Amino acid sequence: MKISHAALAEKFIADEPRTDWHDDTLWFVREKRDKAAHGLPEWEQLREWGSQIKDHTLSNLSNYLKEFEEKAKANGIIVHWAGDGDEHNKIIHTIIQKHKIQKIVKSKSMLTEECHLNDYLQEKGIEVVDTDLGERIVQFRKEAPSHIVLPAIHLKREDVSETFHEHLQTEKGNNDPQYLTEAARQHLRDKFVQSELAITGVNFAVAETGGFVVCTNEGNADMGAHTAAVHIACMGFEKIIPKAEHLAVFLRLLARSATGQPITTYSSHFHKPRPGQEMHLVIVDNGRSKQLGREDFRNSLKCIRCAACFNTCPVYRRSGGHSYQTAVAGPIGSILSPNLDMKANADLPFASTLCGSCTNVCPVKINIHEQLWKWRQVIVAEGYADSTKTIGMKTMAYLFSKPSLYRFAGKMGRRMMKAFPFMTNNKFNVWYKQREMPKPPKESFREWYLKNGKINRK
């Protein structure tokens, strides 16, 4: 069984200054988002449009996908369909084999993380170079990205410096981000100019025009895609939007929500392969059609992967992305992942305070916190909840339904806490961890009310 989110979070917070730094840094990004959002008087209108366009698209998705495929094919793009991650990986492997390709660069694609493409290809002896700076850092360290927009946000500059010293022979102890980024630039430019195949993700695919848009700040998707003889773009089918004019809405929302930038540096619109180039597009289901059928959870498919919900989440900020152990962490990951594997991810919807901040910042108005709560109910009903949680809840339910027993238990509890404090103040009581237990009151509220309620009511 995999280690629980709570156990990994406990490890993460063991380093207190680092936890504080992680927390503050992500909150800083959240504040930048607020500033950008408040700069537009129509922000709430934009969110509403984004939400409605996505709702409409999901309600007519099969037609839009057919339209998109037809137009993309007419544009000269080779379209593939993959039912799951394994099929996705096989399609890419087949293209690599057909062209006898050695040199592969990949820009950020959470879908390829979800499908474990790198591991799959590595087993076949094929190396893929991740080219997003953050992703390259974690790839060197044999780690997974801890954030979908800021993959190396769990690392400090000293960590990066050490990693680059080992892999890129940079000066030991030189922690200057400028210097380290320059080293990565030289290293990756070398990889770009030699690349034979470029793999990219897709931010938006436009049904009307049969093209797709990829957004980056670094320019790494473009450096690869315009150099390599073969370009493979991978997308979950929910990336479809109806028309090019809708890109205006989503590009206005995306970067502002993600990092507080008015737009990413590069918003590249691919429609046709360049002369002599081969352009493939892999459209992936991998559980998405099932999620579409879950009425309570389908609108999680509206997500545009901005990570605003990560940055605002009090649990994510203090537990780190790796504690989720999924390609997409944070609140949105916690409502997407149980669909993929309910048993393995049963603890994730519980990794939330249900404060609702995620829902408030979501640029396409996904009711994330409500879905977290609904997943909890599904998970308990399906029998995947933690047994101590289930037993505890059942005991509480029984107790609350028997008033005299409840009063008796309360009285006993107060006496026990007074006489034998160690009964509650011990490490087996999770409520005692990092907290002082309250002093047991002399009487219950009911007892107090019976005495005083009538006197005070005039």
Of residues 205-244, those binding another protein (CB under 8 A)? 206, 208-211, 217-220, 222-223, 226-227, 237, 242, 244
Q: Does 66 bind another protein (CB under 8 A)?
A: yes
Q: Which is nearer to another protein, 259 or 325 (by Cβ)?
A: 259
Q: How far is the CB of 85 from another protein (least distance, A)?
A: 13
* Of the candidate residues 17, 125, 173, 293, the single one contacting another protein (CB under 8 A): 293
Task: With contacts defined by CB under 8 A, name the span among 65-73, 166-174, 358-366, 389-397 that binds another protein.
Answer: 65-73
Q: Which is nearer to another protein, 10 or 166 (by Cβ)?
A: 166
Q: Does 58 bind another protein (CB under 8 A)?
A: yes
Q: How far is the CB of 43 from another protein (least distance, A)?
A: 10
What is the distance between the alpha carbons of residues 341 and 441, in angstroms, rounded to a whole number?
45
* Of the candidate residues 53, 110, 233, 351, the single one contacting another protein (CB under 8 A): 53
Q: Which is nearer to another protein, 181 or 424 (by Cβ)?
A: 181
* Of the candidate residues 85, 134, 349, 363, the single one contacting another protein (CB under 8 A): 134
Q: Which two tokens stand for residue 235?
A: 């997308």
Mask: binding to another protein, 114-133, rule CB under 8 A, as x and -?
-----------------xxx
Q: Which is nearer to another protein, 121 or 251 (by Cβ)?
A: 251
Residues from 254 through 273 that contact another protein (CB under 8 A):
259, 261-273
Q: Which is nearer to another protein, 247 or 351 (by Cβ)?
A: 247
* Nearest 10 degrees: Cα torsion 217, 220, 222, 224: -170
Q: Which is nearer to another protein, 303 or 351 (by Cβ)?
A: 303
Q: How far is the CB of 192 from another protein (least distance, A)?
A: 7
Q: Does 55 bind another protein (CB under 8 A)?
A: yes
* Of the candidate residues 289, 424, 425, 444, the single one contacting another protein (CB under 8 A): 289
Q: How far is the CB of 234 from another protein (least distance, A)?
A: 15
Main-chain phi, psi angles of 304, to 5 degrees = -105, 15
Q: Which is nearer to another protein, 264 or 323 (by Cβ)?
A: 264
Q: Does 40 bind another protein (CB under 8 A)?
A: yes
Task: With contacts defined by CB under 8 A, name the span among 61-69, 351-359, 394-402, 437-445 that binds another protein.
Answer: 61-69
Query: How many CB atoms sit inside 10 A of residue 17's CB?
Result: 7
Residues from 165 through 194 that contact another protein (CB under 8 A):
177-178, 180-182, 184-185, 188-189, 192-193
Q: Which is nearer to another protein, 289 or 444 (by Cβ)?
A: 289
Q: Which two tokens stand for residue 292?
A: 């579409």
Q: Does 20 bind another protein (CB under 8 A)?
A: no
**Contacts with another protein: how many residues (CB under 8 A)?**
95
Q: Does 151 bind another protein (CB under 8 A)?
A: yes
Asked if residues 233 and 106 have their Cβ atoms less than 8 Å apart, the reply is no
Q: How far is the CB of 406 from another protein (least distance, A)?
A: 43
Q: What's the chain look like in SS3?
A: CCCCHHHHHHHHHCCHHHHHHHHHHHHHHHHHHHHHHHCCCCHHHHHHHHHHHHHHHHHCHHHHHHHHHHHHHHCCCEEEEECCHHHHHHHHHHHHHHHCCCCEEECCCHHHHHCCHHHHHHHCCCCEEECCHHHHHHHHCCCCCCCCCCCCCCCCHHHHHHHHHHHHCCCCCCCCHHHHHHHHHHHHHHHHHHCCEEEECCCEEECCCCEEEEEECCCHHHHHHCCCCEEEEEEEHHHEECCCHHHHHHHHHHHHHHCCCCCCCEEEEECCCCCCCEEEEEEECCCHHHHHHCCCCHHHHHCCCCCHHHHHCHHHHCCCHHHCCCCCCHHHHHHHHHHHCCCCCCCHHHCCCCCCHHHHHCCCCCCHHHHHHHHHHHHHHCCCCCHHHHHHHHHHHHHHCCHHHHHHHHHHHHHHHHHCHHHCCCCCCHHHCCCCCCCCCCCCHHHHHHHHHHHHCC
Q: Does 375 bind another protein (CB under 8 A)?
A: no
Residues from 379 through 418 that contact another protein (CB under 8 A):
none
Q: Which is nearer to another protein, 125 or 275 (by Cβ)?
A: 275
Q: Which is nearer to another protein, 5 or 246 (by Cβ)?
A: 246
Query: How many CB atoms sit inside 10 A of residue 6's CB?
Result: 14
The residue type of 329 is A
Q: Does 325 bind another protein (CB under 8 A)?
A: no
